[in-house]
Amino acid sequence: MLLAGCTRTEEARRDPFTATGELVALSGGGAGAKRACITCHGLQGQGDGEATPWLAGLPEGYMQKQMQDYASGLRENEVMGPIAKALSHPDRLAVSTYYARLPRQVERGGGAPSALTSSTAGLLYQQGDPGRGLASCASCHGARGEGVGAANPPIAGQPAGYIQTQLDLWKKAKRRNDPQGQMLRISQRLTDTEVSALGEYVEALGRPAAPPAQAQAASP
Ligand code: HEC
Ligand code: HEC
C-alpha cells in the first residue's frame, strides 16, 4: 500500500504539468508563500481534520472546477477566493491536477454503513426521505462516501465542520456552483439538526472501522 502510494507520487512528480502544480502547492505561486496550499491543506493534501478539506485524490475535473468557481465568485469563500484569483488560469489547473494525482490519505468507507444506518443521519444518508422528495446522499456520493463518477465528489472523511459549512452555504445560496442545483435544493430541505448529524456521519465514513465492542473488552 505504502509502496504503491510512493510510486504514484513519483510518477506525478516526473510529469512537467504536475511538477508546476507541485511548485504552486509548495510555494503558493502567484498567491504568495504565506498562502501556499500546504500550510492549510497539509503536506500530503490530507486537510486539517477540522475546517480544511482533504484534497489528495479528489477527481481532477471537480477540483479544477472548484478553483475556477472560487476565482469567479460562484463559490464564495473569503479564504479561497483571493487565493484562486491570485493564481493564473494554468496554475489553477496544474495545482488541481497535482492534488488529484496524490495518493488518497483518507480511508473511505471505514465505518461500515450497515452498522451506521440505524441513526437518523444514517437513514437519511443511505435511504433519503421520499416523503420530502429527498434523494439519498448515497445515490450520488456512494454508500461509503467514495464518490460516483467524475462530478459527484467523494465526501467520506471530510471534517464534520467542513461538511456542515458547505450545506449551510448552499442553504443560503452562497455556494451555488453545483451543475444542476441539486445540492441547493437538497440542503434547503434539511433541518439544522440534520445538517449537524450528517456532518458527523460523513466524517465517520472515512475512518477505519472500530473493533467490535466485544473484542475491545476481551483485549488486556
Ligand atoms: C489559509 C488556509 C488555506 C490555504 C493557504 C489554501 N486553502 Fe484551500 N481551502 C481552505 C479552506 C478553509 C477551505 C474550505 C473553504 C470553503 O468552505 O469553501 C478550502 C477549500 C479548498 C478547495 C475545495 C475542496 C472541495 O472539496 O471542494 C480546494 C480545491 C482548495 N481549497 C485548493 C487549494 C489550493 C490549490 C491552494 C493553494 C493554491 C489552497 N487551497 C490554499 C483553506 C486554505
Ligand atoms: C442528485 C445528486 C446528489 C445528491 C442526492 C446529493 N449530492 Fe451532494 N453533491 C452533488 C454534486 C454534483 C456535488 C458537487 C457540486 C460541485 O460541483 O460543486 C455535491 C457536493 C457535495 C458536498 C461538497 C463536497 C466538497 O468537497 O466540498 C457535500 C458536503 C455534499 N454534496 C453532501 C451531500 C449530502 C449530505 C447529501 C444527502 C443529504 C447529498 N450531498 C446528496 C450531488 C448530490
What are 39's three cell numbers? 500550510
Q: How far is CA 112 from CA 115, 147, 165, 209, in A?
A: 6, 16, 25, 7
Q: How far is CA 86 from CA 36, 63, 80, in A?
A: 12, 17, 10
User: If you average pLDDT over residues 188-211, what whole number do you get?
Assistant: 85
pLDDT tens, position by position, 20-79: 899 999 988 888 888 999 999 999 999 998 999 999 999 999 999 999 999 999 898 999
User: If you average pLDDT over residues 179-201, what whole number do you get?
Assistant: 94
Report whether residue 167 contacts ligand 1, using a CB cutoff of 6 Å.
no
Q: Which of 16, 154, 13, 12 is nearest to 90 (CA)?
A: 16
Q: Which of 188, 190, 132, 153 is nearest to 69 (CA)?
A: 153
pLDDT recorded at residue 209: 42
Report whether residue 157 contacts ligand 1, using a CB cutoff of 6 Å.
no
Q: Which atom of ligand 1 is nearest to the CA of 29?
A: 38
Of 52-61, 112-121, 168-177, where does the model show the most confidence?
Answer: 52-61
What's the angle, vertex CA 102, arms to CA 97 and CA 108, rounded to 5? 115
Alpha-carbon 107 to chain mean position: 12
List b or e across 183-201, with b for residues whose CB sees 16 or more CB atoms inside 10 angstroms: bbebbeebeeebbbbbbeb
pLDDT recorded at residue 196: 96
Distance 152 CA to ligand 2 centre (A): 6
Q: Which atom of ligand 2 is nearest to the CA of 135?
A: 5
Q: Whose CA is nearest to atom 43 of ligand 1?
A: 40
Among 23-37, 107-121, 143-157, whose mean pLDDT is lowest?
107-121
Across the chain, what does the average pLDDT equal? 85
Largest CA distance in the chain: 57
